[in-house]
Every structure is written in C-alpha cells, then in structure tokens.
C-alpha cells in the first residue's frame, strides 16, 4: 500500500544539529517550502530537558537508534555503543551539551584537503551567526544567534583546582577556548539556557515550524529516489506504508555520520562492488561513501577525594529527589548543569602546533551511563587524543533499510594511538599531582597506583577506553576530482544532481573537541550554499598559536 506523495522545495532527512539549522535558514525568507523527515518522536520530558539527566536519553531506545560497533579487535573484541539521537533535535537532544567549535587549524586543514571555502576565516562568521554566547571573548563570539551558550557556575572548588593545577604544571590558561585561544585550562561551555538543555530543537526547529512554509513529517527514510541521475525525493516508511516525499528543488541528507552514508548506499550511491554484493543498482560509484570513519576515544582517570564535596553525596535517592524538585519548579540547582564546567586543550609534545588532547573535568567519579565507579567521594578527568590516525567504515549489512549498518571504527589500529594514550594517562597523573589538588587528593581509583609500565597502561586502555561519541567523516567533503570525496565544497553529492549531504559525515577530519558546534555550523553554511547566496565575508581574525610550540608542550 502506498500513500499519496507530498512535496516541498527542499526535503531534509534528519532533524539533528545540521538538519534543524538548515530548516530554519532555508525557510527564513518565506520563498521556499521545507519538509523535515524525522523518525524519532518528541523531546518533551525531564530526561532530555534536565541537563544533569544526560546519561539517561542515550541509554533509552525511545530516544536513541541503539547502534553499536562490531567487535573491536584492538579493544579486546569489545562492542562499543554508538548512540545517535532518534528524536526531535537528533543527537543534540541526547548529547552531553558541551560546546566546542574546534581549533582554527582544524578548518584550515579541511581547506587544505580540498574543502575549499571551509578554512577558519570562512567558517568563523557562521559560528558567530549561530551563537548567543554569554561571557565569551569580545569580537570572537556571536551574541544574537539562536543557539544559547553559557558557562557553568563552577561553584564546586574542584573546578578551580583543576584549572590551577594545569597552570602549576606549566600549561596555559584560557578565558575562552572558543575565542582566539583554544590552548589551555579554563571554563567549559554548555548548550544550556534557562536551566534547560538548549538543543537545536529549541534553538532552530521549533521557531522554524511556526512558519507556514515548514513541516515536520514523521517517517523512516528508506532511500533517496534518483531518476536520470537526479534526486527527486525520499521514499519513507510511514507505519508500514510507503510514501514518496518529493523535492521540487533538492534533497538534503542530514541523517548523521552513520545513517547518511547508509542512505546513500541504499540509494545506489557508494562503492560499486559493495552495492552489487547487496543487489543494489549502482547510480554513482563513489568509493568514499562510508569510508574515513573517525571518532574520539577517551579514558576516565579517577581520583578519590579526601573532602566530602563531590557529587557522590547527592547520588542517593533522597538527594536526587530534591535536585529533581528544585529543577522541576525553578530550573536551578545541580539539575540545571551537565557538571562539565572546567576543560583543557593541551599539546602532547614539542613540535605539535596546536592542541591534540582534550580534557573534560567532573567533580565525581562516575561513568557516562550514570553508574558510580567508586563507592566514595572522587573526581575525574575524561581525557583523550584529538587526532587519531585510525580510520574505520560504515557498510551495509543487507539491502533492507531497517537493518542496522555494520560499524567498524578500527579503534587503536595505528601505533601512535597507543603512544598518545599512554601520554594522556601520565599527563593526567602529573596534573592531579599538583599542589592545587593537595587539599583534596586521595588514592588513585582508576587506572590505580599499580598500573605504571607501558604494558600495564596498554591493558588498561584496551579494557577501558570509551567512545566520546564523536563519529564523523563518512561522506568526506573534497575536490570533485578526489576519488574518495563524496561531496564537493558546496555539499553536493558528486555524480548526482539535486542531492546534498550536510552533517558531521562531510568532515574531512574530526575537529578538536565535541562535534555539536561544528555540525550546526555545517548546517548554517550549507544553507547559504543551497540557496546560492554569497557566503558571509571571511574573518581576518588571527587565532593564538603558542609561540613556544616548537620547543615545548606547554
């Protein structure tokens, strides 16, 4: 049974970070109609809206696609979860609400790789356009955009101890890592506003849906329909009935770095041999579709606290109820933060031009899934290298759109990954060993004081490294002549008319830090490409690069 076709000028698949930003910008002047296809449901409810409940939605099948990796050979055959938002606002509705643009050099590297027009000077104006930042560096930040960005209150003294310890160890401090100077220790930024998660559903999608020319269609995207090398629409499954959502102008995939390449392959766009293996007719042989998969891994380095000032004291049911009530009625208190309020970006060695290690600091010893790691007061740093040389892939398990794709990150497959991670552990111990922590430092919980040699550290890494949930790169943007590029610098799929991809899958290389901000920026900039507008004027602002980078790591 098929339903009658519906149509709009632009059809966007996915209401996540990039998709919602595009829906907002493409419909802004009222000239064009926009349909956003989203399979997930509403984001109304305390698990998504309450910032401190962030560990819940990514573990709930109602809000998460429930994807996972194949056994990872270099992590002892562990299967890691790969959460992606299946809800209005996509992954911005289930993420950790950490706001990091990325380093200026990340985008310059994109441009060098063939993503012409995506250097830092080109993308900075789009970051400014999207932001409504409180407390950032003057002239570097946007103050009137739809996306509210704030700093945490940092009331717990451990946040300042972490920043002070970094300075005592000889590292830089930075008042705003999203300003001129990413390198250093300083306050962390959050996409929280008025005590609530400020996802793209709040920032972009709801305002867009108030316009007559935008509609949200609930359905499961099966494939892009291509006729004579032109995308004419998207076939969706609506409660076991097939419907065509026709695009009068263009189809834009913003379905995530996992689902965008999957949809391209189901539509006949991808590595020809792989498509034929699954009986799919080849529309465009693009060997890069699903390749170049990247992520950030991290470890939790945990230390006992000798003072009862950590979040351990509120992990009991009574305290949780009080926090919940305060948040419910006033949107204040410990429920109104993600608790990531101090951060650092540092360089691992002399000769590294810009930071390649990221820290999130937390005044608790607790896992991402909300399970307490220690039955005591503690604090922890999430730490990991930013530019792993390992690459993975997304491939089809079968031609059935409902089948989950095969996800292989090949984590830790490059020897440098091991060297970098060992350095991360030893560096964190050095920072936790500074005078600033003397008043708080108890025994080391994890890895533990007996884990010292390279071999012992490697065993710990193999057993405990976790994804930071920053997958990207699977529909790489590059020159049309690059056989591994999937989209050109205007996000157009090479070899097919009327089809674009705009989400984290187009990143040539993963950026420094969390991916929500650069994904939204991608949607903002892609919208101008789609509308054929002149790009925002490039910025002439110069990022800070450590003058000692050749000689020292700090």
Q: Which of 461, 398, 369 is nearest to 424 (CA)?
A: 461
pLDDT at 229: 98
Report the DSSP pairing between strands 196-197 and 393-395.
unpaired
Which residue among 109, 296, 423, 470 is the active-site one? Answer: 470
Question: Which residues fall in the annotated binding site for FAD?
Answer: 9-38, 87, 95-98
pLDDT at 2: 86
Task: Give me the CATH code for the 1-68+79-146+190-289+473-536 domain, please.
Answer: 3.50.50.60
Residue 276 confidence class, pLDDT cut points 50, 70, 90 = very high
Distance CA 416, CA 89 (A): 36
> Can you name the CATH fold of 153-187+297-385+412-464?
Cholesterol Oxidase; domain 2 (3.30.410)
Q: Which of 200, 82, 73, 22 is nearest to 470 (CA)?
A: 82
Map tokens 């205007």 to a residue.
Answer: 490
Q: Residue 228: is its pLDDT beyond 70?
A: yes
Map tokens 């529909």 to a residue.
Answer: 475
Instruction: Enumerate the H helices of 313-367 as residue ranges.
Output: 317-330
Do 219 and 236 touch, CB atoms closer than 8 A? yes
DSSP state of 371: -
Burial 242-271 (b: 16+ CB within 10 A, else e): ebbbbbebbbbbbbbbbbbbbbbbbbbbbb
pLDDT at 368: 60
pLDDT at 375: 78
Q: What is the mean pLDDT of residues 63-90?
A: 98
Residue 372 confidence class, pLDDT cut points 50, 70, 90 = low
Question: Which residues fall in the annotated binding site?
Answer: 9-38, 87, 95-98
Which residue ranges make up each domain of the chain? 1-68+79-146+190-289+473-536, 153-187+297-385+412-464
Distance CA 401, CA 203 (A): 31
The DSSP string of 88-149 is TTGGGGTS--B-----HHHHHHHHHTT-TT-SHHHHHHHHHHHEEESS--TTTS-BSSSEEE
**Cis amide leading into 447 (omega within 30):** yes
Q: Do 1-68+79-146+190-289+473-536 and 153-187+297-385+412-464 show the same overall fold?
A: no
pLDDT in tens, 132-158: 999 899 999 999 999 999 999 999 999
pLDDT in tens, 278-306: 999 999 999 999 999 999 999 999 999 99
pLDDT at 507: 98
Residue 374 confidence class, pLDDT cut points 50, 70, 90 = low
Do 189 and 338 touch, CB atoms closer than 8 A? no
pLDDT in tens, 324-343: 999 999 999 999 999 999 99
Percent of the chain clearing pLDDT 70 (strictly above): 99
DSSP state of 202: I
Burial 8-21 (b: 16+ CB within 10 A, else e): bbbbbbbbbbbbbb
pLDDT at 370: 58
Distance CA 283, CA 199 (A): 36
pLDDT in tens, 437-468: 999 999 999 999 999 999 999 999 999 999 99
- Three-state secondary structure call for residue 493: strand
pLDDT at 366: 80
pLDDT in tens, 485-527: 999 999 999 999 999 999 999 999 999 999 999 999 999 999 9
Distance CA 121, CA 92 (A): 25
Please count the residues of the chain. 554
Q: Residue 544: is its pLDDT beyond 80?
A: yes
Q: What is the mean pLDDT of residues 402-408?
A: 98
Q: In the beta sheet, which residues pair with residue 501? A: 253
DSSP state of 303: E
Distance CA 186, CA 449 (A): 28
Is 470 catalytic? The answer is yes
Map tokens 């060297």 to a residue.
Answer: 419
pLDDT at 163: 98
Distance CA 36, CA 251 (A): 10
Distance CA 94, CA 92 (A): 6
Tokens of 2: 């098929």
Residue 315 confidence class, pLDDT cut points 50, 70, 90 = confident
DSSP state of 182: -
Tokens of 46: 């305390």
């Amino acid at each position: 049974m098929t339903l009658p076709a519906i149509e709009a000028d632009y059809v966007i698949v996915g209401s996540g970070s990039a998709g919602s930003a595009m829906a907002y910008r493409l419909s802004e002047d009222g000239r064009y109609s926009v349909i956003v296809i989203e399979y997930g449901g509403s984001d109304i409810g305390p698990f998504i809206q309450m910032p401190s409940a962030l560990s819940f939605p990514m573990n709930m099948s109602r809000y998460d696609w429930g994807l996972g990796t194949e056994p990872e050979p270099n992590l002892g055959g562990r299967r890691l979860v790969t959460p992606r938002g299946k809800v209005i606002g996509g992954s911005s509705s289930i993420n950790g609400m950490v706001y990091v643009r990325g380093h200026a050099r990340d985008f310059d590297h994109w441009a060098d790789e063939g993503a012409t027009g995506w250097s830092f000077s080109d993308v900075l104006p789009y970051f400014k356009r999207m932001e409504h930042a409180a407390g950032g560096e003057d002239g570097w930040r946007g103050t009137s955009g739809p996306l509210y960005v704030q700093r945490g209150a940092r009331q717990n003294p451990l946040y300042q101890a972490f920043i002070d310890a970094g300075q005592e160890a000889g590292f830089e401090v930075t008042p705003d890592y999203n300003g001129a100077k990413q390198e250093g220790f300083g306050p962390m930024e959050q996409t929280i506003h008025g005590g609530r998660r400020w996802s793209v559903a709040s920032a972009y999608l709801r305002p867009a849906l108030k316009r007559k020319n935008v509609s949200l269609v609930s359905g499961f995207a099966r494939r892009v329909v291509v006729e004579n090398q032109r995308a004419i629409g998207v076939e969706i499954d609506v409660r076991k009935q097939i419907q065509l959502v026709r695009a009068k102008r263009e189809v834009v995939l913003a379905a995530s770095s996992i689902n965008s390449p999957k949809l391209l392959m189901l539509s006949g766009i991808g590595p020809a041999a792989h498509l034929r293996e699954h009986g799919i007719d080849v529309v465009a042989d693009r060997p890069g579709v699903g390749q170049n998969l990247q992520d950030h891994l991290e470890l939790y380095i945990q230390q006992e606290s000798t003072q009862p000032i950590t979040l351990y004291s509120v992990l009991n049911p009574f305290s949780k109820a009080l926090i919940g009530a305060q948040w419910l009625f006033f949107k204040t208190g410990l429920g109104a933060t993600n608790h990531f309020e101090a951060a650092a970006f540092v360089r691992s060695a002399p000769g590294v031009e810009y930071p390649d290690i990221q820290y999130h600091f937390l005044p608790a010893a607790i896992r991402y899934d909300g399970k307490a790691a220690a039955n005591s007061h503690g604090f922890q740093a999430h730490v990991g290298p930013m530019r792993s040389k390992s690459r993975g892939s997304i491939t089809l398990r079968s031609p059935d759109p409902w089948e989950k794709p095969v996800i292989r990150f090949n984590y830790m497959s490059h020897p440098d990954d091991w060297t970098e991670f060992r350095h991360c552990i030893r560096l964190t111990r050095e920072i936790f060993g500074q005078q600033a922590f003397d008043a708080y430092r108890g025994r080391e919980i994890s890895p533990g004081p007996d884990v010292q040699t390279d071999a012992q550290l490697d065993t710990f890494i193999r057993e405990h490294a976790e994804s930071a949930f920053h997958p990207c790169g699977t529909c790489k943007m590059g020159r049309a002549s690059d056989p591994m590029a999937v989209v050109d610098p205007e996000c157009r799929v090479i070899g097919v008319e009327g089809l674009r991809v705009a989400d984290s899958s187009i990143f040539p290389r993963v950026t420094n830090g969390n991916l929500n901000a650069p994904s939204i920026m991608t949607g903002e900039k892609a919208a101008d490409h789609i509308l054929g507008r002149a790009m925002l004027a490039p910025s002439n602002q110069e990022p800070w690069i450590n003058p000692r980078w050749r000689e020292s790591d700090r």
